Structures are given as structure tokens and as C-alpha cells.
Chain A
Amino acid sequence: MSEDTLSPLPMDPLEAELIALGRTLVVDPPALDLVERVLARVAGPDHEDAAASAALRTAPPSVAPLHPSRGVRGWPAAVATSLRAPRRRALAAAVAALLLVVLVPPVRAAVLDFFRIGGVTVREVPSPRGAPATSDPQLLPPTSPGGMVVGSLGEASKRVGFDIAAPPELGAPTTIAVAREGRAVELTWGTGAGSTRLDVFDGSLSFGYLKSVWEAVTPTDVAGNEAVWFASPHLIEWTDRAGVTVTSAPRIAGPTLVWVDRDQAGREITYRLEGHRTLEAARKIAESVP
């Protein structure tokens, strides 16, 4: 890619102008649900989709109304034609949603539709094929934090603008990092398998985590505050509230406890603790946060 990239110097003015034009073109970002739709389709049984496309292919519009005034022979073809790609997919989505509603027991449905806890938005997606087995969370240690490593909790608090408290239960964090453009603090204890990660951020901001889950989550509480336990691996990404601006590739997170609390100034702070296998263990840590 080096020898044939556009060289800045001996360039035709029109070429330069076209490049400048390209940089001023604004295109809406990809659809919010693109990733999950693609995953759902590639993970789901191929034949459904293949059958739908095959049906379309066997009914080309050219064989349509041989007797348009009667419309009898034309009818199936016309229907097939009207089910062109976008609508066909909308239909597939509707069918998928219907299945989901039918398959999800009422109690789960009440919790799982699409909800928020603090700065975390949770939505249910179909299970991706090849998702890690629920029974083996050991395979999924939390990732190391990104961002800028700082020396103390006090410094981290200063940078993000709210008070950071760490659970004394875990001792001093191995790493304290200010991440997500100064919006979040990521604390880690240990590295690799067996490590623990705690993300703390102001849940009222426009950015937060989007979690896509395909297994049940458990509503719970941490010292009387609202909390949710994600026992199974799930996809997590950092996005704006509308889910439009995705700022990093989604990753798979292991069991996680999310809860909200208020800092001294009354700001709603969201905590995300990853790295403990059981709700009991995670809650014990969470409740030790002062």
C-alpha cells in the first residue's frame, strides 16, 4: 500500500480537489443494529435465509403479469417482487422478534426487553453460534484496561470529575487508568485469568456501555442500590446513548455485576465489576465499596 498511495506532491489539482471533496462528505453512520443483525443471520440456520433468497430468485419480475388485467398468474410473482431485500429483511426481523417474544418466558421478557441501568444499556440479541460456553467463564478474563495509567485514585477522580472509591476487599488496584476520553476510570487487580476489573463512570453522561445479551440476566441489589448480574458471557461496547457512535470494537465480557450509586456530590455513578464467577462473590466486593 506504500508505493501506490497518493503522493502529496506531484498531484493533479483536480485529484486533490476530489480528495478534499471526499473528506467533506458526511454519510450517516452504519445502522445501529448492524452488528447484531449480521451476527444473528450468520449464526442462525443458513437455510431460512437461503430459502428466502431462492424463492425470490425463482420468481423474477420478468415472469410477472402475463395477463396483467386478470392478475391471476401475476399474483405470486408480484408478491415475491414486493418482498425485495429491505422488506424481506424487515419481515425476517419481525418474525425473529415474534419468535423471541414467544420463546422468552413472561418473567424474563419483563426484564429483558431493552433496559438501562445507570450508564449501561442492555438489549437482548439472538445467541451467536460459537459463543463461549456459559459453564466456562474461566476462559474469559477481563481485558486489561486501555487509556492513560495514573498513579492514584485521587488523581483519577480529579481527571474524571467525580469521586472514585475502590472496594477495600480487593486491596490496592494493580492498575488505575483513565479511559474513554476521560469519561471512565478502569481499575484492575491482577492480570490475565483470575484478574478483576472495575469500571467506574458517570452514568448520566451521553456515553456508556452497550451490552448485548443472549442469556438471562438477574436483577439484584448492592447495598440497596439497583444492580444487575450478568452471569453469562455477553458482548460489550462503548457507545453514545443512541448506540450510534461506536468507539471501539465490541468484545466478549465474562460474568459481570453492574450497579449504580451516588457520589458525595449526588452524581449517579455506574460501576461495572468483571472477573468474579458468582453473584455472591461479586456482591460482597461491590458492597465493600465505601
Chain B
Amino acid sequence: MNQIDVDGVGLVNHDIRGEGGPIETADEAMVLARVRAGETAAYAELVTRHAPMAKRLAVLSGAGADADDVVQEAFVKAYRSLSSFRDGAAFRPWVLRIVVNECRNLHRGKSRRSDRELRVVREEARLTTASDPAEVAVGAERREALLGAVRALPEQLREVVSCRYLLELSESETADSLGIPNGTVKSRLHRGLARLREELSDV
């Protein structure tokens, strides 16, 4: 259930989507308009909406223990540059792009962060229904190997693979979030997948 106050009028969205799911573009435009009109508190809605995805991206980008700082910084910077934000553009890829840049800055002069913020859930419910326990274990092992291979990718490839597959962003959202053309997303995905296949065949 999503409740959104617009100029004091309560709108209740009765469809039952997952909480924190994608906000309607029209709703978001209204929230943005309120923020621009000086209603800082309305920004809380945008932060709450997009923070979980921003945090996932920060962690996947190797921010490690700094992920929360990166997310905070990204939302503050996004707010401060609201004036340069194009009307009608989606807020999410825009803030994700700042997250990506913050993570890149973090890496400068630092070695790759540890993965301790990120855990692989070993057995999903649907996997535990498999009759053969050995099969289940293989699934978990394979996932860990795959995650390791993704994290070992060069930054540019890792970013597109993370956005497109692990975060399930669309191709154009991936492009916007990384600040690269759609065509580049395609070619990097292609190279990324090829690289992963190579890595995994060695295992």
C-alpha cells in the first residue's frame, strides 16, 4: 500500500505491489515538483523509494562498509543538483549514476573492498524443493562461483553485468545509470558474458 500526500491531499494507491516497488512516473514527477517547490520533506519519499536499490548497487560496486556513506552522499548530491535534472527524466538512473561515480571515487587508491556486506543466500525456497540434496548444494556452489567471477570482472564489464542482470535494470536504465550509450551497454554485456563463460569453464 502506497500512501502519497500531494499538497496535503492523501492519495492511496490500492494496488498491492511490493513495498518500495517502482514508483509511478507520474507520482514521481509530482513528488519531484514538491521537492523543487522547496518542500524538502517530500524528498524523503524519493530517498525511501530508491535507497534499497542504491544500496544494492553500492554494495555490488564494492563499496563494502562504506556503502551507507555512498548512498547518503549520492542522495545529498542528487538533491543539490536537482536544478540540472531534466523534467520528465527518471530519478532512479540519475541517482544510481551518482552512486556509481561515488563508488569509483572510493576505489581510487584503495584496493577492492571486501564482500562481507554481501551474502549469498545458500538455498532459496524453490531450490530446497529439489529432491536431490546434492543438486541443491551444487546450485549454491555454482552461484558462489558465478558471483566470484562477476566480482573479478574488470570494472567496466562488472558494472554493466551488475546493473543489467543482478539489479535487473533495463538496457536503457543501465545506460543512463552508467552514463554510456545503449550500444556500449550491449557490447560490454557481450564481452562480460564471454568473460564469465571463460572463467567458469576453468572451475
User: Which residue of B is nearest A38, CB measured?
Assistant: B75
B165 in contact with A22 (CB, 8 Å):
yes
Query: What chain B residues lie within 8 Å of A247 (beta carbons)?
Result: 19
Does A9 belong to the interface (CB within 8 Å)?
no
Determine if A25 and B120 form an interchain contact, defined as CB atoms under 8 angstroms apart: yes
Would you call A24 and B44 a contact (CB within 8 A)? no
Name the one of A6, A14, A43, A250 contacting B168, with C-beta atoms under 8 angstroms. Answer: A6
Q: Chain A contact residues: over half helix, strand or loop, or mixed?
A: mixed
Considering the complex, which residues of chain B in the window 1-22 have a beta carbon less than 8 Å from any beta carbon of chain A?
1-5, 8-12, 14, 19-20
Which chain A residues lie closer than 8 Å to B117 at the CB level? 27-28
A280 at interface by CB-CB < 8 Å = no
Expressed in whole angstroms, the Cα–Cα distance for A35 and B9 within the complex equals: 22
Interface residue SS majority, chain B: helix
The answer to whether B55 touches A30 (Cβ under 8 A) is yes
Q: Do the beta carbons of B10 and A43 come within 8 Å of each other?
A: no
Counting CB contacts under 8 A, is B143 at the interface? yes
Looking across the interface, which residue of chain B has its beta carbon closest to that of A248?
B3
Contact, CB under 8 Å: B165 / A24: no
| Chain B residues within 8 Å of A141, by CB | 8-10
A72 within 8 A of B: no
What residues of B have a CB within 8 angstroms of the CB of A89 in the complex? 69, 72
What CA separation (Å) do A75 and B43 show in the bound complex? 40
Closest residue of B by beta carbon distance from A15 = B165
Q: A143–B51 contact, CB under 8 A?
A: no
Min CB gap B136→A, angstroms? 13
**With A41-B76, A146-B1, A247-B19 in contact, is A26–B118 under 8 Å at CB?**
yes
B48→A249 contact, CB < 8 A:
yes
- Assembled-state Cα–Cα distance A27/B12 (Å): 29
- A50 nearest CB neighbor, chain B only: B80
- When the two chains form their complex, are residues A131 and B40 in contact, meaning their CB atoms are under 8 A apart? yes
| Structural contact, A37 and B72, CB atoms closer than 8 A | yes
Q: Is A102 an interface residue (CB 8 A)?
A: no
Closest-CB distance, A49 to chain B (whole angstroms): 8
Smallest CB separation, A138 vs chain B (Å): 9
Closest to B146 in A: A21
| Contact B8–A140 (Cβ < 8 Å) | yes
Q: Are A26 and B166 in contact (CB under 8 A)?
A: no
Q: How many residues of B contact A (CB 8 A)?
A: 66
Contact A235:B41 (CB < 8 A) given known A143-B3, A249-B3 = yes
Measured CA separation A24–B141 after assembly (Å): 13
| Nearest CB of A to B93, in Å | 11
The distance in angstroms between the C-alpha atoms of A22 and B124, with both chains bound, is 12
Contact of B3 among A23, A43, A139, A251 (CB under 8 A): A251
Docked pose: A3 CA to B161 CA in angstroms: 19
Asked if B69 and A249 sit within 8 Å, CB to CB, the answer is: no
Instruction: Judge whether B159 is part of the interface by a CB distance below 8 angstroms.
Output: no
B167 within 8 A of A: yes
Determine the chain B residues whose CB is within 8 A of the CB of A61 once the complex forms. 109
**How far in angstroms is the closest Cβ of chain B from A214?**
10
Q: Report Cα–Cα, A100/B43, bound state, in Å.
A: 23
Output the least CB separation between B144 and chain A (Å).
9
Bound: A25/B3 CA distance, A: 28
The B-contacting residues of A in range 216-261, CB under 8 angstroms, are: 235, 237, 246-252
B157 close to A (CB within 8 Å):
no
Q: Is A5 an interface residue (CB 8 A)?
A: yes
Report the separation of the CA atoms of residues A86 and B65 in the bound assembly, to the nearest whole angstrom: 10
Within the complex, the shortest CB–CB distance from B149 to chain A, in Å, comes to: 10
Task: Please encode chain A, from 44 to 73, with 1 for each CB lying within 8 Å of some chain B CB and 0 for all others.
Answer: 001001000000000001000000000000
Distance A58 CA – B19 CA, assembled complex (angstroms): 43
A35 touches B166 (CB 8 A): no
- Which A143-199 residues have C-beta < 8 A from chain B? 143-147, 179, 192-193
Q: B73 interface residue, CB < 8 Å from A?
A: yes
| Pair B147/A25 contact, Cβ less than 8 Å | yes
Which residues from chain A sit less than 8 Å from chain B, CB to CB?
A: 1, 4-6, 12, 14-15, 17-31, 34-35, 37-39, 41-43, 46, 49, 61, 85-86, 89, 128-131, 139-147, 179, 192-193, 235, 237, 246-252
Q: Which B positions have Cβ atoms within 8 angstroms of A?
A: 1-5, 8-12, 14, 19-20, 37-41, 43-45, 47-49, 51-52, 54-56, 59-60, 66-69, 71-73, 75-76, 79-80, 109, 117-121, 124, 142-143, 146-147, 150, 161, 165-168, 170-173, 193, 196-197
- Besides the known contacts A29-B55, A128-B40, 7 further A-B residue pairs in the complex with CB atoms under 8 A apart: A18-B146, A30-B54, A34-B47, A39-B40, A142-B10, A248-B19, A251-B4
For this complex, 5 residue pairs linking A to B, each with C-beta atoms less than 8 Å apart, are A22-B165, A25-B121, A30-B68, A86-B69, A130-B37
